[in-house]
């Protein structure tokens, strides 16, 4: 796990509030239907006409004690979204979400999106040894131009909500 300490660029950043439009599913790590979610969202994303960027945002909303009482069967909401200027033109069967501003640990990750060892490092190694604790706000990844699904050269930003200890 120490390989991440050397290889992963990390920073602490305050995110502005973001207006998101997309689709969501309730899933768990044992019933991880994230592929199904993105397959239903991607063909329709062009219907969202007021995007602020071309980035995709993959968001997870966990219950307050999800990680304290962790079980792979714990359910959470997974969202496939884009950031928009406003909610004036939301396509049918899509939903809105206002991601509140807040403090985040941001990790620039390069590698397979199916390799969860980065999250084990962040939550199990980096966070306990940092001056922060997990905050009860959504977690998200920004999937930009360098993101490639199922590719070891893929790049993304992982945003973990934190607050001072």
Name the token pair of 68: 């304290």
Cβ-count burial of 123 within 10 angstroms (0-12 exposed, 13-18 middle, 19+ buried)? middle
pLDDT digits (tens, 9 = 90+) for 71-106: 999 999 999 999 999 999 899 999 999 999 999 999
In this structure, are residues 126 and 28 in contact, taking their beta carbons and an 8 Å threshold? Answer: no
Instruction: Give average pLDDT by consecutive 10-residue segment, the chain, 165 residues.
Output: 62 97 96 94 95 96 90 95 96 97 95 83 93 96 90 91 97
Q: What is the pLDDT of residue 9?
A: 82
CATH of domain 2-164: 3.20.80.10
How confident is the model at residue 7, as a pLDDT?
Answer: 62
Quickly list DSSP for 95-138.
EEEEE--EEEEEEEEES-TT-THHHHHIIIIIHHHSSEEE-SS-
The structure tokens 């997870």 sit at 60
Task: Note the pLDDT of residue 1.
Answer: 43
- pLDDT number for residue 5: 55
Residue 114 has what pLDDT?
75
pLDDT for the residue numbered 3: 55
Residue 14's pLDDT is: 97
Helix (H) or strand (E) holding 3: helix 2-7
Contacts of the segment 146-152: beta carbons below 8 A, 24+ positions apart? 147/56, 147/113, 149/113, 150/112, 150/113, 150/114, 151/112, 152/111, 152/112
């Amino acid at each position: 796990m120490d390989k991440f300490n050397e290889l992963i660029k990390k920073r602490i950043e305050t995110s502005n509030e973001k207006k998101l439009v997309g689709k969501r599913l309730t899933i768990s790590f044992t019933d991880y239907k994230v592929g199904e979610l993105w397959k239903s969202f991607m063909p329709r994303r062009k219907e969202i006409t007021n995007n602020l960027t071309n980035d995709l945002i993959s968001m997870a909303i966990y219950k307050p004690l999800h990680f304290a009482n962790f079980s792979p069967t714990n359910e959470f909401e997974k969202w496939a979204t884009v950031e928009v200027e406003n909610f004036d033109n939301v396509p049918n069967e899509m939903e809105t979400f206002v991601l509140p501003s807040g403090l985040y640990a941001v990790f620039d990750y390069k590698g397979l999106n199916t390799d969860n060892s980065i999250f084990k490092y962040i939550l199990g190694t980096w966070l306990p040894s940092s001056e922060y604790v997990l905050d009860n706000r959504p977690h998200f990844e920004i999937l930009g131009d360098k993101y490639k699904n199922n590719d070891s050269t893929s790049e993304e930003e992982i945003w973990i909500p934190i607050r001072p200890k």
